[in-house]
Amino acid sequence: MSDYNFAYLDEQTKRMIRRAILKGLAIPGYQVPFASREMPMPYGWGTGGVQVSAAVLTPDDTFKVIDQGADDTTNAVSIRRFFQKTAGVAVTEATAEASVIQTRHRIPEQDLRADQILVYQVPIPEPLRFLEPSEVETRKMHALEEYGLMHVKLYEDISQHGDIATAYAYPVKVEGRYVMDPSPIPKFDNPKLEMAGIQIFGAGREQRIYAIPPYTQVVSLDFDDYPFQPTKADHACDLCGAEESYLDELIMNDAGGRMFMCSDTDYCATRRKQGHVGAQGVPYKEAAT
């Protein structure tokens, strides 16, 4: 523990990242360039999120990491252990107890409070990237608020699939100004982007940080005759019976057996502890999840 500076990064680096975060919060949705550092993990594993977490963590914080909503996947466990080792902070799996939550691809089901920070891992921060490969040009388009191209993507979706088929990384407009990629969260989570907590997005490989301050207006882009619709599997959780949560589908056997369950493991476990039982679930027992 004493071999590392608190939270791995040196103090000057953390100051640099905090400046980028403050600028990002001051200009909601704007991608702030920052000098991304090499981290002891490969790009694409959350180096941006880890650097943002390192910059915002204090010794008093309680840290939670989720990957696709789950606390117990390899990536989530590794990052949680990383900060346990290098920062010595308390860790938790309970959404309500955490003060900093690093996430990949989900927003927790439970509403966040004003004293919580949500840190996203972002693979590609530029929503216009696949339509306009030139970064020089996309920056100009952001600066001049020329966002017609974003709708070309949605148009293509409708013309090919009969509906807006973009199901994740669904583009949003923040506070009526910047079009932003909300990281690859399902579009089911888009309405939750207007929340009480602070949201910070870190893209390590792409060297960009952006942020949404609390209670900022976030509008999902759409057409007048094809309005935005958050979607989820039309099912209830088979473990806890929740009908409002985002579900993972699990193939159980070769006979077509399948199971839907909450992707947010903490939300599901909490409900089961409260006595909710889904169609294929069993009553919750300690240490037998």
Partner 1 sequence: MRPLLQVESIAKFYGARIGCIDVSFDLYPGEVMGIVGESGSGKSTLLNCLAGHLTPDHGAVRFDTRAEGLRDTITMSEPERRMLGRTDWAFVHQHARDGLRMNVSAGGNVGERLMAVNARHYGDIRAEAIDWLGRVEITEDRIDDRPTAFSGGMQQRLQIARNLVTGPRLVFMDEPTGGLDVSVQARLLDLLRGLVREMNLSAIIVTHDLAVVRLLADRLMVMKDGHVIETGLTDQVLDDPQHAYTQLLVSSVLQV
Residue 44 is among the residues annotated as catalytic for this protein:
no
**29, 48, 197, 278: which one is catalytic?**
29
**24, 46, 262, 278: which one is catalytic?**
262
| Cβ count near 234 (within 10 Å) | 8
CB-based contacts of 56: which residues, under 8 Å, 6+ apart? 18, 21, 100, 117, 119, 200
Output the smallest distance, CB 205 to partner 1, in A. 23
Output the smallest distance, CB 225 to partner 1, in A. 5
**48, 69, 240, 281: which one is catalytic?**
240
Q: How many residues bind partner 1 (CB under 8 A)?
A: 16
Q: Which of 22, 44, 215, 223 binds partner 1 (CB under 8 A)?
A: 223
> Given strand 32-33, what is the order of strands in its sheet?
32-33, 208-212, 198-203, 117-121, 100-104, 62-67, 90-91
Asked if 162 touches partner 1 (CB under 8 A), the answer is no
Residue 29 is among the residues annotated as catalytic for this protein:
yes
- Residues 121-150, mask of contacts with partner 1 (x by CB under 8 A): ----------x------------x-x-xx-
Identify each DSSP E strand in 20-168 by its residue range.
32-33, 62-67, 90-91, 100-104, 117-121
Q: Which is nearer to partner 1, 148 or 256 (CB)?
A: 148
Q: Which is nearer to partner 1, 2 or 159 (CB)?
A: 159
Residue 237 is among the residues annotated as catalytic for this protein:
yes
55: buried, middle or exposed (CB in 10 Å: 19+, 13-18, 0-12)? buried
Query: CA 261 to CA 254: how far, in whole Å?
Result: 19
What is the phi/psi pair of residue 83, to 5°? -80, -25
Q: Which of 2, 12, 74, 160 binds partner 1 (CB under 8 A)?
A: 160
Output the smallest distance, CB 160 to partner 1, in A. 7
Residue 262 is among the residues annotated as catalytic for this protein:
yes
Residue 176 is among the residues annotated as catalytic for this protein:
no
Q: Which parts of this chain interact with partner 1 (CB under 8 A)?
A: 131, 144, 146, 148-149, 151-152, 155-156, 158-160, 223-226
Please list the active-site residues: 29, 237, 240, 262, 268
